[in-house]
Chains A and B, each alone.
Chain A
C-alpha cells in the first residue's frame, strides 16, 4: 500500500485541511460542512483530554453547552458583536473547567468519566429547569448576531468561512501544544503518571491546564454552533450526546489531531447520511465500534499512518 508522507502532511497540513473542507463543502453543501467543522473542533477539544491525557470523559457536552448558552446570553443581554459573544462563550467554558477541573483531574478511569457525567447532568437540569427563566428551558433561546463591520454573519457562507478559519487556528494551536514539551508530558501522564511525577513534574497542574484548554475549545465549538444555528436548546448540553464525540474520537484514532478531524468528518457523514438508508442507523455505529475495538484500535488515522512507519505519532514528535 502506498504510504502517507506524514512529513509533507505536517508541513502543509493547514492547507490540506482547508482544501479538504472546501471540497467537502461542494460535496455536501457549505451549510452542512459548517456543522462538520464545528463538530471537528469539539472532537479536537475532547481528544486533548482523552487521546493525549488518557482520561475518558462522559461529560464534555457540559462545556459545549456552556459555551453555547453563554454566547447566546451575551448576545441577548450584552452585545450582539459575534466575536465578543463567542469569546464570552470560550471564557465561560474555560472558567467552568477551571472550577471543576481541580476536582475531576484528581481522578482517573471510571471515576473521572462518571464525575464528568454527573456534572454534565447537573448542568443539563440547571439549563432545563433551574435557570429556565434565562435559558428558555425546554424551548431554548435564540441569538441574533449583528454585523462585524461590513461582514454579515447572517450569511451562511460567511459563517462557513469564519468557522473554517477558526478551525484552522485551533488546529495550529493544538498542533503546537501537542508537539511542545507540554504535549509530550500529557502523553507520559497517559502512559504512566507516577513516573512523570518522579521526573519532578507536578502532574496535577499540567492536567488542570490541559483540561481548561480543552473545555475552552469545547466552549468555542458551542459558541460557533450558535453562530451557525442562531438558537440553542438543551440538546446542546444533553449528557446522552457525549457518545457522539467519544465515537468520533475512537473512529478517527485517539491521540492524533488529524485522527480527531478524520473521526469528526466520518461520524458526521454517518450520522447525516446513513439515516436516509437505514432506519436504526445507531445500530450500525455500534457494530462499527465493535469492529474498531477488536481490529482497528488506532482508528482510521492510526491505521493509515501505520503504513508510513509512524503509527499514531505524527503529532507529538
Chain B
C-alpha cells in the first residue's frame, strides 16, 4: 500500500475536525474523497501532506511513518499537494514557476517544461508571461503539470474543478483522465460527474469521519446516491 492512514485525529485548538479516519491508497489508484463543506476533507489532505499536525494516528507513505514530517521532505519522498486556491507564484513567469519545481529533483528544466506542455500544450504561449496574469483554469492546469515534475508517486489534489468554467472543467477532467493509472491520486472533489467517471474508489466523509467507502463501480456511478452525501 502506498498511503495508509490509520485512526487519524486532527484538532483545531480544542475542536476535533477529523475523528479516527482510516484510508488507503494503492499505487496507481485514483481515490476520491466526497463530502459536504466542513466535513474535514481539506484538513485531512493538509494533515497527510504535513501542512497541519495530527493529534494522533498513523500516516504511512511507501512504508515509512511520515506523521510530523515537514512538507518539503514529503515532496522529496514523492508526495505532491495541489491546493484548492490555485495559487501560483504570481511575480514569477510561467517558465520560472516550472523551473523552480524541477531544481529540488535535479530534473532538467527542459524536461520539466515538456512535462507541463505534455498535459497543457497551450501553455507554451504564456511561458514568459507573469503567472499572475493566468486565469483560474490556466493556473490549475499549470499546477497540475508542475506537480508531475520529479515523477511523484502520490498526488493530493484539493477540489481541482472548483470555481472553473465548464470548458476548463473539461480540460481538467481530460488531464486527470490522462494521469489516471500513472500515479496514485487522492482527490477531494464535489463535482460528481468527474467522480463517477474517474474514481477507482470513493471515501465518503461526514463530520470528520469516513462512515462509508464505495468500492463497486455500480455504487460509484450512481450519482443520485452520491448526491446524498453532499
CB distance from B38 to the nearest CB of A (A): 22
Chain A, range 179-194, C-beta contacts under 8 Å to B: 181, 184-185, 187-188, 191-192, 194
Q: How far is the CA of A192 from the CA of B89 in the complex (A)?
A: 8
* Residue from A194, A196, A198, A201 with most neighbouring chain B CB atoms (10 Å): A198
Say if the beta carbon of A313 comes within 8 Å of chain B: yes
Q: Which residues of A contact B92 (CB under 8 A)?
A: 184, 187-188, 316
A185 near B100: Cβ-Cβ < 8 Å:
yes
Say if the beta carbon of A203 comes within 8 Å of chain B: yes
Interface size of A as a range? 20 to 34
A187 near B72: Cβ-Cβ < 8 Å:
no
Say if the beta carbon of A7 comes within 8 Å of chain B: no
Q: Which residues of B contact A188 (CB under 8 A)?
A: 89, 92, 100
Closest B residue, CB atoms, query A317: B93
Q: Which residues of B contact A283 (CB under 8 A)?
A: none
Say if the beta carbon of A195 comes within 8 Å of chain B: yes
A313 near B91: Cβ-Cβ < 8 Å:
yes
A194 near B71: Cβ-Cβ < 8 Å:
yes
Say if the beta carbon of B49 comes within 8 Å of chain A: yes
Contact for B70 among A187, A197, A316, CB less than 8 A: A197
The segment from B75-83, B133-141, B176-184, B203-211 found at the interface with A is B75-83
Chain A, range 7-58, C-beta contacts under 8 Å to B: none
CB distance from A317 to the nearest CB of B (A): 6
CB distance from A189 to the nearest CB of B (A): 10
Encode B87-122 as 1/0 by CB contact (under 8 A) with A. Answer: 101111100100111011100000000000000000
Say if the beta carbon of B40 comes within 8 Å of chain A: no
B87 near A181: Cβ-Cβ < 8 Å:
no
Q: How far is the CA of A187 from the CA of B76 in the complex (A)?
A: 21
Closest A residue, CB atoms, query B156: A198
Mostly, the A contact residues are: helix
Say if the beta carbon of A1 comes within 8 Å of chain B: no
* Residue from B96, B105, B150 with most neighbouring chain A CB atoms (10 Å): B96
A199 near B104: Cβ-Cβ < 8 Å:
yes
Q: How far is the CA of A198 from the CA of B71 in the complex (A)?
A: 5
Closest A residue, CB atoms, query B83: A195
B89 near A201: Cβ-Cβ < 8 Å:
no
CB distance from B53 to the nearest CB of A (A): 14
Say if the beta carbon of B51 comes within 8 Å of chain A: yes
Q: A199-B72, A317-B93 are in contact. List 8 more A-B contacts (CB 8 A).
A: A185-B100, A187-B92, A188-B92, A197-B71, A199-B101, A199-B104, A200-B101, A202-B70
Q: How far is the CA of A191 from the CA of B87 in the complex (A)?
A: 10
Q: Which residues of A contact B100 (CB under 8 A)?
A: 181, 184-185, 188, 196, 199
Q: How far is the CA of A196 from the CA of B75 in the complex (A)?
A: 10
> A191-B89, A195-B87 are contacts. A200–B96 as well, Cβ < 8 Å?
no
Q: How far is the CA of A154 from the CA of B83 in the complex (A)?
A: 60
B89 near A200: Cβ-Cβ < 8 Å:
no
B104 near A201: Cβ-Cβ < 8 Å:
yes
Q: How far is the CA of A202 from the CA of B69 in the complex (A)?
A: 12
Q: How far is the CA of A203 from the CA of B150 in the complex (A)?
A: 19
CB distance from A97 to the nearest CB of B (A): 23
Q: Which residues of B contact A199 (CB under 8 A)?
A: 72, 75, 100-101, 104
A195 near B89: Cβ-Cβ < 8 Å:
yes
A203 near B72: Cβ-Cβ < 8 Å:
yes
Q: How far is the CA of A197 from the CA of B75 in the complex (A)?
A: 8
B51 near A187: Cβ-Cβ < 8 Å:
no
Closest A residue, CB atoms, query B88: A195
CB distance from A295 to the nearest CB of B (A): 21
Closest A residue, CB atoms, query B128: A317
Q: Which residues of A contact B150 (CB under 8 A)?
A: 200
Q: Which residues of A contact B105 (CB under 8 A)?
A: 200
B72 near A197: Cβ-Cβ < 8 Å:
yes
| 17 pairs of residues in contact across A and B, judged by CB atoms under 8 Å | A184-B99, A184-B100, A188-B89, A188-B100, A191-B90, A197-B71, A199-B101, A199-B104, A200-B76, A200-B101, A200-B104, A200-B150, A202-B72, A203-B72, A313-B91, A316-B96, A317-B93
